[in-house]
Structure formats: structure tokens, C-alpha cells
A = this chain, B = another copy of it.
Amino acid sequence: MNKQLLFVKRPIGEADASTWSLETNPIPEIEEGQILIKQHYVSLDPAMRGWMNQGKSYIEPMAIGSVMRAGSVGEVVASKNSRFKVGDHVAGTGGVQQYSATDGQGFYQVDPRIAPLPTYIGALGMTGMTAYFGITEVGKIKEGDVVLVSGAAGAVGSIVGQVAKIKGCRVVGIAGGADKCSYVVDELGFDVCIDYKNENVATRLKEECPKGIDVYFDNVGGDILDIALTRLRMHARIVICGAISQYNNKLAVKGPSNYLSLLVNRATMQGMVVFDYAPRYAEGAKILGGWMAEGKIKAREDIYEGIENFPETFKRLFSGDKLGKLVLKVIED
């Protein structure tokens, strides 16, 4: 049987157990051209909260009653498609379910001998691609830049900062709590990490970046974006990757009051969506994979188990009660 998590109610504010319904259905029969994937792991990402909203966005809103959209990685267990054979490992957007039948569109083969499967929905998946293309192509980092990264202990932020270090930047992270900050500096090699839960971010940022910042990679929005705006150097770039502080708002998003710093500093604030770099994922994965093999980039997944635990696990994205990439194992090996 196939356990599937259906999206049944659009949340207002935080998603909770009533947002989803767990159903058990027969494992689908595949048709000509399809494959059946046994999905070991699914990805949990803040962006999912946005997909639940009605209205125009960078991707179609999820339909009520559909399988919860999610990145996934697993093994082909049946194939009527010449691109894939039984035993292949594949990643794609298979949704929160134990088995998915698909024509293979958007799925690609991964190699578990090179990296563990969860890494392919993390540092070598969308998460890594977001970080790599975001900081290099949108942030346009160059050697000597001062780079600020919020969500520094998170899935994307942790890679962003490590890429910036490799490229010769001074990298300042922002994360919540002393443990995360230690991880960011001691394990990931950021130059410094500001603990927004226990330190005054504006004061610390002034101390750590006395001449200001060249690039701010924003995963959080809200007050931290506003503080970062006060410290821009001339021609600074702000990469708008996400705004996790705002995703559960029941009312309006908090706009950045200090946006006129863009004018004063001839700075740029630019939004990004990783899908635009799809034609270059192979290139990005090769580069990141190389750095991982050399030990220059460390990636950590925080793995929970049980498809029935999806709603509780999902909350960790917003409570911050996790370290690195959040992953759920939805079926036994």
C-alpha cells in the first residue's frame, strides 16, 4: 500500500495537522512510459508554506486534495520508460508519499555511491543549487566582498556562506542561538555568526562589518532585512531568496522600511527562484560535489522518520528547531 499525505485545507497563518490528511491507497499501476519510484526521503522547505497559498506566485498554488508537493529521492522499482531502469536512484518532485508513478518528467538519476540519498535533496539538490546560483549569479560575489547571510545554519544559508568563503569573501552569518552560531563558525568556517536571539544584530553588524556589506543573502526578511539595509556599501547586492519570518503572517508582510538605502548606496535588491537555473543544475552539482569531496563544503541533514510525522516535522522549519537541511524518511528501506 502507498501512504500519501494530501493537502486538504489552505492554512491561515501556521499550517497545522488540519492542513493535511494521511491516506492509504493501493500502490499505483504504471502505464507505458511511466516509472514507479519507492521514495525513501522527502524534502521539507520553507517555500512549501508559500505553495499552500492561493494566488499567483512563481509556481502554481497546490490544489486542494492533491498530494503535498515536495522534493523527493528514491529508487525505481518498476519501469516502462527507457530512460530509467529498476534499481536506478532518482530525485525529483515526487511529493509526500511512499510511492510515486510518473513519466519521469523532472526526475534525474543520482548516485548513492557518491553521496547519501538525502544529500540529493539537500546540498546536491535544489537547496544547493539555490545557494550556489543565488550567491554567485545574483549576489555576484567576488574576492574580498563582505557577505552577510541570514539563516546561516539553515539548509541554503549554510551552503551560501561556505561558497562565499571558497570565493575569498569575509562571511558573516546570522542564526538563532549559541549552538547554531558555534556550528556555523566552528564547523562551517564562517568568519563570525551573530546570534539574533541573544545579541543586538544592528550593534554586532556594525562591529563586524565596520565598512558595511557588499552582499546580503536574505532568507528571512522582516527586521533583519531592515537592519542589513542600514549597512550596505556602495553598489551592494541583496539577494531575496526567501522571507521565512513572514510566511506565516496572517496580515500583510512587513516591507523593508529602509529600502531607500538602495538609492543612497546605488544598491540592488533582486529576487531569485532556483528553477531558472535548471539548465545549469548539472554544472552546479558538479562544482558543489567537487567541493564536498574535497571537504571544503560540509552539508548536514536533519533527518526525521515516518510520513505520519510530516506535520510535526514541518513546524521545525519555522520554530528553527533543526540544524541544516530538514528531511523526512517516509518509508522503510
- List A residues at the B interface (Cβ < 8 Å): 56-58, 221, 226, 240-243, 246, 252-273, 276
A233 to chain B, nearest CB (A): 12
Whole-angstrom distance between the Cβ of A10 and the nearest chain B Cβ? 18
Whether A259 pairs with B263 at a CB distance below 8 angstroms is no
Q: Would B271 and A260 count as touching, CB distance under 8 A?
A: yes
The smallest beta-carbon distance between A156 and chain B, in angstroms, is: 13
Some 30 contacts from A to B, beta carbons below 8 A apart, are A56-B264, A58-B263, A58-B266, A221-B260, A242-B263, A243-B263, A252-B257, A253-B257, A253-B259, A254-B255, A254-B257, A255-B255, A255-B256, A255-B257, A255-B258, A259-B259, A259-B269, A260-B271, A261-B271, A263-B271, A263-B272, A263-B273, A264-B271, A266-B270, A266-B273, A267-B271, A268-B268, A268-B270, A268-B271, A269-B269
Closest to A247 in B: B260
Smallest distance from the beta carbon of A160 to chain B beta carbons, Å? 15
Contacts beyond the supplied A241-B263, A242-B263: 20 A-B pairs with Cβ under 8 Å: A58-B263, A58-B265, A226-B255, A240-B259, A240-B260, A243-B260, A243-B263, A246-B260, A252-B257, A253-B259, A254-B257, A255-B258, A256-B256, A259-B259, A262-B269, A263-B273, A264-B273, A266-B270, A268-B271, A269-B269
Task: Note all chain B residues with C-beta closer than 8 A to A56.
Answer: 264
Whether A271 contacts B266 in the complex (CB less than 8 A), given A256-B259, A259-B256, comes out as yes
In the docked arrangement, what's the CA distance between A257 and B243, Å?
Answer: 12
User: Whose C-beta in chain B lies nearest to the C-beta of A56?
Assistant: B264
**Residue pair A240, B262 in contact (C-beta under 8 Å):** yes
Contacts of A265 in B (CB 8 A): 58, 271
Q: Across the interface, do A271 and B262 meet the contact criterion of CB distance under 8 Å?
A: yes
Q: How far is the CA of A79 from the CA of B173 in the complex (A)?
A: 57
Expressed in whole angstroms, the Cα–Cα distance for A260 and B257 within the complex equals 14
Of B240, B254, B255, the residue contacting A263 (CB under 8 A) is: B240
Determine the chain B residues whose CB is within 8 A of the CB of A262 once the complex forms: 240, 269-271
Contacts of A241 in B (CB 8 A): 263
- Known interface pairs A226-B255, A255-B256, A260-B240. Does A272 touch B276 (Cβ–Cβ under 8 Å)? no
